Amino acid sequence: MADPQRTHKQNEMPGNKGFWSLCQRLLSFAMTICSSNLFRGSPAAGCRSPRCLFLFFISVDERMNQGGGKSRCGRGGYQRISVYVYPMIRYVDEEHVAIKPMSKEFYEIIDAILNSEYYTSDPDEACIFIPPIDTLNENNLRKDEIAKALAMLPHWSEGENHLLFNMMPGTPPEFDTTLNLDRGKAIWKRQWLMVSSQPNIHRDYREDLEAQLLEKHTQEKDLLILDKCVPFSNLTVRCRGSDMYQYPQVLSDAKFCLVIRGGRLGQTTLYDAMQAGCVPIIIADSYVLPFSEVIDWKEAAVQIYEEDLPTLMQTIKTEVSEERLEEMHKQVLWLYEKYFSTMEAITLTTLKILNDRVFPAHARSLEQWNRRPIPTAVSNPLFLPITAPVNEGFTAVILTYDRLESLFQVIQTMVQVPSLSKVLVVWNNQKKPPPQASMWPKISVPLKVVQTRENKLSNRFLPI
Instruction: Return the higher-pLDDT residue of 8 and 319.
Output: 319
> Are 216 and 146 found together in one domain?
no
353 vs 31, which has greater pLDDT? 353
333 lies in the same domain as 416: no
Q: 144 and 43, same structural domain?
A: yes
**Is residue 117 domain-resident?**
yes
Cα–Cα dist 218/60, whole Å: 35
The Cα 133–Cα 241 span in angstroms is 38
Look at residue 373 in the predicted model and tell me its pLDDT.
79
Answer yes or no: is 377 within a domain. Answer: no
What is the percent of the chain where pLDDT is above 70?
69
Based on the fold, state whether residues 208 and 256 are members of the same structural domain. yes
Same domain, 89 and 216: no
Axis-axis angle for helices 312-319, 203-212 (nearest 10): 60
Q: Is residue 382 part of a domain?
A: no
- Distance separating alpha carbons of residues 266 and 261, to the nearest angstrom: 8
- Domain membership flag for residue 356: no
Mean pLDDT score across all residues of the chain = 74
- What per-residue confidence (pLDDT) applies to 334? 93
Considering the domain boundaries, does residue 442 fall inside one?
Answer: yes
**Tens digit of each residue's pLDDT (9 = 90 or more) over 345-379:** 888 898 888 888 777 777 888 889 999 876 544 45
> Is 76 found in the same domain as 140?
yes
Is residue 77 domain-shared with residue 143, that is, in the same domain? yes
pLDDT given for residue 180 in this prediction: 59
Asked which of 88-97, 113-122, 224-233, 410-419 is least confident by mean pLDDT, the reply is 88-97
How far is residue 60's CA from residue 20's CA, in Å, rounded to a whole number?
12
Residue 40 has pLDDT above 80, yes or no: no
Residues in contact with 90: Cβ distance below 8 Å, sequence separation at least 6, in sequence order: 98
Q: Is 417 found in the same domain as 340? A: no
Read off the pTM: 0.48
Angle at 271 between CA 99 and CA 317, to 5 degrees: 110
Let me know if residue 366 belongs to a domain: no
pLDDT at 451 over 90: no
Look at residue 242 and tell me if it is in a domain. Answer: yes
The pLDDT assigned to 447 comes to 87
Higher pLDDT, 64 or 72: 72
More confident residue, 278 or 383: 278
**Lowest mean pLDDT across 37-51, 121-135, 148-162:** 37-51
- Return all residues near 161 (Cβ < 8 A) that are at least 6 apart: 60, 61, 63, 64, 68, 69, 127, 128, 129
CATH number at residue 337: 3.40.50.2000
pLDDT at 328 over 70: yes
Q: What is the pLDDT of residue 301?
A: 94
Q: What pLDDT is recorded for position 76?
A: 56
15: nearest Cα among 55, 62, 80: 62
Measure the CA–CA gap between 332 and 346, rounded to whole angstroms: 15
Which domain does 402 fall in, by range?
394-461
User: For residue 303, which phi and psi values (nearest 5 degrees)?
Assistant: -110, 125
Write the pLDDT tens digit of every residue in 243-275: 888 888 889 889 999 998 876 665 688 999 999
Indicate if 111 and 236 belong to the same structural domain.
no
Counted domains in the chain: 3
Tell me the C-alpha distance between 224 and 197, whole Å: 8
* Same domain, yes or no: 209 and 327: yes
Tell me how far CA of residue 116 lies from CA of 110, 112, 161, 296, in angstroms.
10, 6, 19, 45
Backbone dihedral angles phi then psi of residue 397, each to the nearest 5 degrees: -105, 120
365 lies in a domain?
Answer: no
Same domain, residue pair 215 and 292: yes
Residues 424 and 278 placed together within one structural domain of the fold: no
Confidence of residue 30 (pLDDT cuts 50, 70, 90): very low
How large is the C-alpha radius of gyration of the chain?
29
pLDDT at 51: 28
